[in-house]
Structure 1
Amino acid sequence: MTIRLVTVSTLFPNQAMPSHGVFVETRLRHLVADEDVTSVVIAPVPWFPTTDSRFGAWSRHAAAPRNEIRFGLDVRHPRYLVVPKFGQALTPHTLFRTLKPALAALLAEGYRPDAIDGHYLYPDGVAAAWLARHFNLPLVLTARGSDVTQWPDFPRPRALITEALDQADALITVSQALAEGVRALGIDPHKITTLRNGVDTEIFNPIEPSTARAAIGQTNRYILSVGHLIPRKGHDRVIEAFARLATAQLAGHDLIIAGDGPERAALGDLAAAHGLFSRVKLIGAMPQPRLPLYYSGADCLVLASSREGWANVLLEAMACGTPVVASPAAGNDEVVRSRAAGLIAADFSAASLAAGLDTLLADPPDRGATTAYAEAHDWRTISAGQREIFTRVINQRQPARVRELARSG
């Protein structure tokens, strides 16, 4: 039996922002490739009146197409209202007001979904729960990180997240640490399944390091840090750790930071303060097809995040043969479980990251063993797990599938 889904998330790539939420797209495209599953994606983007590039990310949202086909998936980007300073409270409501007519239009076209596949618990998951209730559809939610580790710290989001989780027919978490966080909200543990992300070895595979460095125009060997330039990603601590080793173990190395965000200027200033401006290279956001060059050419990837759900960059680097040094953020120890993978720093400090780098680079694992470790994290098993969950919840709700369009309004 073909399972027909509607996937709902604001975290989904589009033509104007091809790396935004790529982890949601990756899991979905593997699911529809590996299993007898189809999905139409409703991925709302914030409304903004102009594509003028002076407005940064807001203008890129405005440039997103209304409809597009990505990897064979029908993806729709209706607009929703984001109200500055009031977004935390209002966004679930504005999202629902956008999602409701978008799904009604899909029904009018003749598409009959069996379930809603919602990603990220707040505000997306809350709006997806209201949508599922309105159209009387089964709901599977996926928790991905700060929707469990951060949003429940605020009373109103916590109440709405808990309500959505209680309503959901099943919940997927991408790490066991997140599953424990969800259980702490009082959710029935029988609803929760941990399906860790896999790695796409068609994209992320090893390139000989000197060849990779030549391809990106990099003469020196280097350490790599990848992620949005925001405080919780800890790029400042990576720079501090690099500075501790810059005249010793890493005397011949550069530090490359791939990502974009509001901390860019501050990170450049920090590198300059350590006299490392020419050796710390902030290269901006990197499209996924080019990342394997940067991973493969690096001696090590450093991930210094203070919070993570399941850090895809760790397995991506390993698949390219590059070991990692990761912070002890919850979930990272579920990715780094072998010396072939790398190691977990003792704490979040720059000193501990530097010590981890020193230890790893003094005796690095075989790059082939690192690649083999990553390849064991395959997507087929994860796709099969999703198929089982959707089949179960659809069968449980079979008598009440979808309301007629005339009744759903």
Structure 2
Amino acid sequence: MDSAGIYEVAVVGGGPAGSSAAFRLARQGFNVCLIEKKTFPRETLCGEFISREATEILNSLGLFKKFLMLHPNPIHSFSFILSDGRKLKTSLNFTGYGLKRGSLDNFLLKSAIKEGIDLLQPASAKEISQTSQGYALSVLTPKGTLKLLAKNVIAAYGRQSPLDRELKRDFTGIKTRLNGLKLHVPCQFAPNFPEDEIHIYVGKGIYCGVNRVDRQTLTVCFLEDRTDYEPPPRVRLKELISMNRSFKEIFSPDIFTILDSLPVYGTGNIYFGKRNCVENGIFMAGDAARVIAPLSGDGIAMALQSAELACEAVSQKLQNKLGEKDAENFYTHNYRKLFSPRLRTALLLQKTILKPDLSKPAYFAAKMFPGLLSYFINSTRGII
């Protein structure tokens, strides 16, 4: 912090958006404090697919070679499988990677620490209020509540946080029925899954992404549209395995004996609609800015890309090249320009595959026009 005890930037959240933002700004010479509520490494809900856009960002930060030292699992193709076993398969035309979020987030946070950030962890930002000098943050730590001052705040705390209500964000009262759940399945229970592919298996009101994240582990991550009459999430996953022949075939017969004992990482009531990119002058990044439908496999890339945009706005503001409102407008305009098309496409695809009466016609359309699947893959990552 400066001589007045004020940080130039406080970053709330140590995931890909928050840690990469802190890394960027510290490397530019700004004094940065990062606040993260969990002790790392920790797992969180995520499909754990790292796309080309994400690796390009890592490369631009000079981190890609070190990222490869984490031994992420290379992924080259994608398959979409209906409940009756019919399949569409295509090459990704790039190398993606599977890697546990616990490993990725820990790597990015350690990289930011090496750049000289101040880290509060475990610590939770409970309140953020505007002051004449910027922002006052009330931060709960194991030793008590800390008051912290910052000229700028980047909020990268994920898809849901008590801060959303504190900031009176307009989506907080919306109920969606959409719940996500992730499990790490030992590969010994999935001997028939190809290691260089990512699959999406579809059932009624549910879809499940599967890919390898290391030599020993398979990520199984699903989104469900839950009604009051639906069974618990683990039961729905078992039903999907039983009903989708192709899904069942990747597992060994004893898969059901371990599903109940595996740790789960989940989030309920996930909101995929519009959010403000800036709230009370606070720059939102990653899922805090907006959540993309997970079938796109672009959530981590969006986190890194939105952090880059937020850092550009904050940097320009701190260098007096942009005023406060101009910096906010710069970020909002560029965020929407970069992400709105892929967000719309991903949400449309998600609504389609969650409904059996729509997913089958969509399958036949993609079967009839082979380039359609590649088109949607590209359009959900901003390539088209």
Q: Same fold (TM over 0.5)?
A: no
Provide the TM-score with structure 1 as the length reference.
0.33
Provide the TM-score with structure 2 as the length reference.
0.34
Which structure has greater helix proportion?
1
Which structure has greater strand proportion?
2
Greater relative contact order (CA < 8 Å, ≥ 6 in sequence): 2
